[in-house]
A = this chain, B = another copy of it.
Amino acid sequence: MAPPERLSGVLAPVITPFRRDLSADPERLIAHCRWLLSQDVGLAVFGTNSEANSLSIPEKIELLDRLVEAGIDPRRMMPGTGCCALTDSVTLTKHAVSRGCGGVLMLPPFYYKGVRDEGLYRNYAEIIERVGSSALRIYLYHIPPVSQVGISVELVERLTGAYPDTIAGIKDSSGDWNNTRELIERGGKDFRVFCGSETFLLRTLRAGGAGCISATANVNPAAIRRLFDDWQGPGAESQQEELDEFRGCLQMPTMIPALKAVVAGFLDDPQWEVLRPPLVPLDEERKSALVRTLRERGFSMDRYGG
């Protein structure tokens, strides 16, 4: 099998549905992934917004298997496989490669703080050597506001220098446009830079970036994809403004409960509100206000489930 093509476009860090007993719900996840693909949005399953770090390794392996067995194209998938423990990262990454995933999105180990680039380099190098597959494509995951352990541009250069085929790109969720621009400029021709919010999508594409991987793509996929397709057209600026306005409605200390409230509200499926601790659902008042606001803007989740 040929190694996967490098990814670009718009991907959603797919939110993970839970049953009332907090177990993961593969059927609802499959339906959500099918809908996202129908909107031409790729699947960054097991990202931050997927509550991935609230799932065990066996749970993630089981969910990935269920998705692939349901016929979801693994080449459109970029599962998160970076864990605190090297051995966990290897297990999960190996599994993703064996299922034919287009790439993996890899957090640095995030428990120990203030670690040196040398230690992070060794972590990634060791994973790459142990997985030992020419089909492995790693997208580094830089999200210092959450992980508190970041990936410097110097570390990116060292990794792409040592593993030019494997290190395929980065998701930059720093929220710092200067950092994203620097990654695009210094990452090299084939290095795929995704911004972590569609707020930066137009700027990212104009600077030569690959697209975005954004939480809101879980509920607003078509509009974000449209900007990706039309970014050189005359309406790009106003499309970007509309995306920013939509995102503004969801902006909260953490966006995950808001995303789930929107899906639950617009699909009329309250089970989608369930989150695993330490996250908790929005209270009734905020949830109703959010759904009402979006309805007033004419928002809907088109063609869901068909």
Contacts and interface: CB of A to CB of B under 8 A. Distances in A.
Contacts of A87: 55-56, 59
Determine the interface band of chain A, counting residues with CB < 8 A from chain B: 35 or more
A17 to B, nearest CB: 16
A153 to B, nearest CB: 18
A234 interface: no
A233 interface: no
A249 interface: no
Given A126-B277, A278-B109, A280-B118, A54 B148 contact: no
A122 B54 CA distance: 13
A187 B213 CA distance: 45
Nearest to A89: B56
Contacts of A86: 22, 54, 276-277
A112 B55 CA distance: 13
Interface of A: 22, 48, 53-57, 59, 84-88, 91, 108-116, 118-120, 122-123, 126, 145-149, 253-254, 276-280
18 contacts: A22-B86, A53-B85, A54-B85, A56-B88, A59-B85, A86-B276, A108-B278, A109-B277, A111-B146, A111-B147, A112-B279, A115-B254, A115-B278, A119-B278, A122-B278, A122-B280, A123-B277, A148-B148
